[in-house]
């Protein structure tokens, strides 16, 4: 008897559950493609290392009205083998994002990218300060000195000054300061190698490192990109003739933290490795982080016969062939300052 009743019972159960299952199935698919309740200004979601689907659903439910069904979200992730492919990081939830789109974003690792601009002409000390103050960089070098940092970057014994290319770098939250420096160092290596490969044939430099040093001086001498080749030309001709470079930025760099913003006559006569008013040739290291433009100028200086230059006080420089012309330009500059 029960065998005769079983098909009837199954039919009845199907008639009862079928519509209910269809409703759940349709609701599930509608959920996947219905935008989450992200406010107009968007939201930031942080998925920490080790967090899984249950943790993700819990984080989403913390925001009222954001997620309608955690079980649906988890079911979709598990049915499509996404649960084990979640990537930790910060994610920007934009208005209109659907649960399906959110999981695709997290599986693809499309995390928020933060940025830090390394400014042309910064010193390595200024770069270290900027790294230490960035809230999204993980600090691993805070207690290391410059020599220890260069050793960790696989450049033991090298001074760090000049070796990090000024640019705007993008990175996810938790990126380390060491990884940042590695990226900037690799960028400078490439830029210096390319620049040296395009150097002028009569350049009075014998190695790429000398070009890096000269580029750093050019960077500090002028803030006007168009003047960089002319400034580099003056220094190249001085090097060719065995003249002193006589550049204030090298003296200031040598003074270090004792420099108070006022370069005095006594400073120009104080002997140290960076005093180019006393010592011939280039200083022993770069004095700043040179830009790609300064590197290009250093290896391809503008031709001419100028051996001197002085600021106009209006953003540019006056270039002179002789000391007499230069002294007149200096007096004019001083007069403009008085006026």
Query: All domains of the chain, ordered by start, with CATH?
Result: 31-108 (3.30.1490.480), 114-191 (no CATH), 203-338 (no CATH)
Record the pTM: 0.85
* Inter-residue contact 310 to 329 (CB < 8 Å): yes
- Secondary element (H or E) of residue 308: strand 308-311
Reference 316, options 301, 333, 300; nearest CA is: 333
pLDDT of amino acid 1: 46
pLDDT of amino acid 18: 59
pLDDT of amino acid 183: 98
* Inter-residue contact 178 to 160 (CB < 8 Å): no
Look up residue 256 and give its two tokens: 């270090």
Residues 222 and 333: their CA atoms lie apart, in Å, by: 16
pLDDT of amino acid 2: 45
* Inter-residue contact 141 to 129 (CB < 8 Å): no
* Average pLDDT, 10 consecutive residues per value, the chain (339 residues): 51 56 71 89 92 91 85 88 93 94 94 97 97 97 97 97 98 96 98 97 96 98 94 97 96 91 88 95 98 98 93 82 87 75
Reference 259, options 272, 244, 245, 242; nearest CA is: 272
pLDDT of amino acid 19: 63
């Amino acid at each position: 008897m029960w065998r005769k009743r079983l098909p009837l019972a199954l039919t009845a159960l199907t008639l009862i559950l079928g519509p209910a299952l269809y409703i759940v199935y349709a609701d599930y698919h509608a959920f996947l493609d219905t935008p989450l309740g992200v406010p107009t200004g968007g939201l930031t979601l942080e998925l920490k290392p080790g967090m899984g689907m249950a943790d993700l659903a819990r984080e989403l439910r913390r925001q009222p009205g954001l997620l309608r069904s955690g079980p649906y979200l988890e079911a979709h992730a598990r049915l499509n083998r996404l649960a084990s492919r979640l990537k930790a990081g910060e994610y920007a939830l934009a208005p209109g994002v659907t649960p399906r789109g959110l999981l695709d974003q997290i599986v693809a690792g499309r995390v928020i990218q933060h940025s830090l601009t390394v400014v042309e002409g910064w010193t390595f000390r200024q770069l270290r300060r900027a790294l230490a103050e960035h809230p999204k960089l993980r600090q691993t070098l805070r207690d290391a000195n410059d020599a220890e940092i260069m050793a960790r970057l696989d450049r033991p014994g090298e001074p760090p000054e000049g070796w990090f290319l000024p640019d705007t770098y993008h990175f996810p939250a938790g990126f380390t300061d060491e990884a940042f420096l590695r990226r900037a160092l690799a960028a400078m290596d490439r830029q210096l190698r390319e620049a040296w490969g395009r150097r002028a044939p009569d350049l009075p430099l014998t190695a790429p490192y000398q070009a890096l040093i000269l580029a750093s001086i050019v960077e500090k001498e002028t803030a006007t990109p168009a003047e960089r080749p002319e400034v580099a030309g003056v220094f190249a001709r001085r090097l060719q003739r065995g003249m002193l470079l006589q550049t204030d930025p090298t003296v200031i760099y040598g003074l270090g933290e004792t420099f108070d913003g006022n370069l005095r006559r006594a400073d120009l006569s104080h002997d140290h490795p960076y005093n180019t008013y006393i010592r011939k040739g280039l200083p022993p290291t770069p004095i700043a982080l040179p830009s790609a433009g300064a590197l290009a100028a250093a290896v391809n200086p503008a031709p001419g016969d100028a051996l001197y230059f002085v600021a106009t006080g209006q953003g540019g420089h006056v270039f002179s062939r002789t000391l007499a012309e230069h002294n007149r330009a200096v007096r004019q500059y001083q007069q403009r300052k008085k006026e």
